[in-house]
Homo-oligomer: A and B are copies of this chain.
Amino acid sequence: MKYRELAKILKVEIDKGKYRDAGKLPTEPELMEQFGATRYCVRNAIALLAELGDVYPVQGSGMFVRENRREGCLNINGTRGMTSEFPGHSVSSKLIKLEQREAGADSVRLKCAADAKVYSVSRLRLLDDEPFAIEYALYLKEFVPYLSEEIASGSIYAYIREDLGLSTGFADKLIYARELDHGQADLLGLSAGDPALVVEDDAYLASGRMFNAGTVYYHYKKATFFNFADLK
């Protein structure tokens, strides 16, 4: 039994509410026996769940299941894209622009050569067919050699991971608030000067190479982000 497998199993059971009555997971020895796993495996699996905020350990007491207020919120960790964040809702995109060009001034942010080829994608993202966010994104052609209108209208991240087989590593985000300009406001069905929640996202491959830079303007009445933080 691999610890990532065990983590997935436990995560499903937690989400199904299996441990809700007890409020806590079985103890380490119990889990070891139930899954025929070593303590190494059990502890690593639980560490993954704790990182995600599904569970918290109390020394001498147990592994407690966490209640949290994340319904309808975007998790700010784990950029798995909007598509996977709203189960039961329709997430779609209206392509505004898709072009291939040289990085130019964007080479600073993308940490690449000025003449490196990039795809530039602008999309209006819709939640249940209502305007939700405007996304401006750049992808280095070196890593994402092909993008079509069809792909860009769907989940680009799913394409990158599943079809291109790239393994993503980590991401930096900057979050701030700004006023919308006229063009943005029109797209979102708001007025110029209204607030926008802005997220700049620099995404890296597991190799440490940056491959994607995005800036997203979220509808301030519809978008709320959720974050789980360790205070240790």
Contacts and interface: CB of A to CB of B under 8 A. Distances in A.
Contact of A174 (B53, B73, B168): B73
B175 A195 contact: no
The interface centre, meaning the residue of A73, A77, A176 with most chain B CB atoms within 10 A of its CB, is A176
Interface in A153-170: 168-170
A105 interface: no
B176 A197 contact: yes
B170 A78 contact: no
Nearest to A64: B208
A142 interface: no
Contact of A224 (B176, B208, B232): B176
Contact of A208 (B56, B177, B223, B231): B56
Given A179-B195, A195-B179, A196-B195, A174 B229 contact: no
Interface residues of A, number: 49
A69 to B, nearest CB: 6
A207 B225 CA distance: 25
A229 B76 contact: yes
B178 A195 contact: yes
A172 B228 CA distance: 5
A173 interface: yes
A68 interface: yes
Given A56-B208, A169-B56, A207-B58, A174 B224 contact: yes
B177 A197 contact: yes
Contacts of A175: 76, 175, 197, 224-227
Nearest to A225: B175
A231 B173 contact: no
A230 interface: yes
A79 interface: yes
5 contacts: A64-B208, A168-B232, A176-B225, A177-B197, A195-B220
